[in-house]
Amino acid sequence: MIQTRFDKNKVYITWPDGVTSAYDNIWLRDTCQCPEDYHPLTKQRLLNTFAIPRDIQAKNVTFNDQSVLIVWPDDHESQFTVSWLRQHSYAPQLDQVKPAKTVGVQMHWDVAKLKSNLPEITFDEIMTADGSVGSSVASWTRLIHQYGCCFIDGVPFGSTDSPEDNAVGESATQALVERLAYIRPTHYGGFWAFTADLAKNDTAYTNLDLGSHTDGTYWSDPPGLQLFHLLHHSHGKNASSENINAQSELGGETRLVDGFYAAGLLRQESPQAYNVLSRVGIPAHSAGEDGVCIVPSYPRPVFEHHPVSGELVQVRWNNDDRSVMDNWGQITDANKGEVGVVEFYDAIRAWYEILTRPEVEYIVKLVPGRALIFDNWRVLHGRKAFTGSRRMCGAYINRDDYFSRYRLTNFGRDAVLNDL
């Protein structure tokens, strides 16, 4: 049995389990879900919040047929279903499932754990899915969310590195990415492909070794997802026959590290280092291209936490793109204590040592047809130096667009909207 009562400040609902939720009048009036106050199609507030009297009182509150009807002094009526009221109870906060607010289960991995359960899906499964709730787009985004990465098999590619053959792989890969969300354009292009030709004046466009990093440490909002598809890797036209070794000797293997797992290790093993890397904003830049010099709105730490819950939400790390650190006073919060220069170097050394442990860093050779997508806010990537001719294509997706898709396909639009 549900019971309602009200006084001059609040409306109270007592649930069958005996718990009572209290809702402030101004909150109820502001949150009115009627079509005049909340646009049913655009899901935006139409009501003028500031026209609500600060001390508004309900004239009458009645309960029937699973709804609570509130009549306000101007005779406006607000109707809330009890399930909606239960879902949004804030005093007390109840055990609601909040798909738009909770992060969901993540499996943090080391190499052994990842290998024993590699997140994989096929191109065909994804491309034939209609994107509805529970379709394979849901499984795909759920795998990415749980593991921070996912391999996609059976992606079409050409058999040579001719422009025509590359176009086959690139258009299939682009279609794959766009199945998840729209592509983020950057100074590297929208959907990009790269070889060791320095086309974009970044070391990704060389054959150098790149240690595990996250991309875009120089953006205020780094890409949420990154997808790679190796289209081609061979000895190349100019290799002489005695130089031609086995494919494995070409190098170019991909590095992958679960940054959340690695952060957990650092926190356990060197709490002081973890603390330093949660506090020091590291300046970063992308400045290779003539018309480009990107720096974030302010320097961010390696570990970014939810400001209230303290949960780790993002890892940013790219030692190669780190700028000159000459303004220590501005990049650390002095209220929490100064960080010495050498102390900072000790902290990044401890972090680097963890990232390069063989049991932490997963090394895998990508092959044409097997794409890799990963959460760039969590999983670090890199590659080993290589020889020969190699072409990789892929794209970035914004974190919020990815999460929108993850939530809608896994929880359904009704549940997600109900939670706004």
Ligand X SMILES: C[N+](C)(C)CCCC[C@H](N)C(=O)O
The residues that touch ligand AKG, with contacts defined as CB under 6 A, are 204, 210, 215, 254, 381-383, 392
How crowded is residue 405: how many other Cβ atoms within 10 Å of its Cβ?
22
386 binds ligand X (CB under 6 A): no
375 binds ligand X (CB under 6 A): no
Q: Which does 216 bind (CB under 5 to 8 A by kind): ligand X, ligand AKG, none?
A: ligand X
Sole binder of ligand X in the list 321, 377, 388, 409 (CB under 6 A): 321
Compute the least distance from the CB of residue 371 to ligand X, in Å.
14
How crowded is residue 125: how many other Cβ atoms within 10 Å of its Cβ?
16
User: How far, CA to CA in Å, does 77 sit from each of 58, 70, 344?
Assistant: 10, 6, 59
Compute the least distance from the CB of residue 125 to ligand AKG, in Å.
25
Using the contact rule CB under 6 A, the part of the chain among 2-10, 20-28, 186-194, 371-379 near ligand X is 186-194
Sole binder of ligand X in the list 216, 259, 368, 382 (CB under 6 A): 216
Q: Which does 89 bind (CB under 5 to 8 A by kind): ligand AKG, ligand X, none?
A: none
| Cis preceding-peptide flag for 92 (omega within 30 of 0) | yes
d(CA 253, CA 45): 51
Sole binder of ligand X in the list 78, 254, 318, 389 (CB under 6 A): 318
> CB-based burial of residue 202 (10 Å sphere; 0-12 exposed, 13-18 middle, 19+ buried)?
buried
Residues with Cβ < 8 Å from 331, sequence gap 6 or more? 280, 281, 282, 283, 299, 325
Asked if 371 contacts 155 with a C-beta cutoff of 8 angstroms, the reply is yes
d(CA 380, CA 257): 5
Q: Which does 381 bind (CB under 5 to 8 A by kind): ligand X, ligand AKG, none?
A: ligand AKG
Asked if 175 contacts 137 with a C-beta cutoff of 8 angstroms, the reply is no
Which CB sits closer to ligand X, 202 or 361?
202
Which CB sits closer to ligand X, 321 or 361?
321
Compute the least distance from the CB of residue 116 to ligand AKG, in Å.
24
Q: Which does 258 bind (CB under 5 to 8 A by kind): ligand AKG, ligand X, none?
A: none
Torsion sign, CA atoms 194, 199, 204, 208: positive
Which CB sits closer to ligand X, 318 or 389?
318
Judged by DSSP in three states, 329 sits in helix
Q: Which does 140 bind (CB under 5 to 8 A by kind): ligand AKG, ligand X, none?
A: none
Asked if 229 contacts 371 with a C-beta cutoff of 8 angstroms, the reply is yes
How crowded is residue 326: how many other Cβ atoms within 10 Å of its Cβ?
9
Q: Which does 254 bind (CB under 5 to 8 A by kind): ligand AKG, ligand X, none?
A: ligand AKG
Sole binder of ligand X in the list 202, 258, 361, 375 (CB under 6 A): 202
Compute the least distance from the CB of residue 202 to ligand X, in Å.
5
Asked if 11 contacts 25 with a C-beta cutoff of 8 angstroms, the reply is yes
Sole binder of ligand X in the list 215, 258, 361, 375 (CB under 6 A): 215
Angle, vertex CA 56, rays to CA 76 and CA 6, nearest 5? 85
Q: Which does 318 bind (CB under 5 to 8 A by kind): ligand X, ligand AKG, none?
A: ligand X
Q: How far apart are the first and last CA of the chain?
A: 27
d(CA 389, CA 238): 10
Using the contact rule CB under 6 A, the part of the chain among 138-146, 208-216, 261-269, 361-369 near ligand X is 208-216
Residues that bind ligand X (CB under 6 A): 188, 192, 194, 202, 204, 213, 215-216, 318, 321
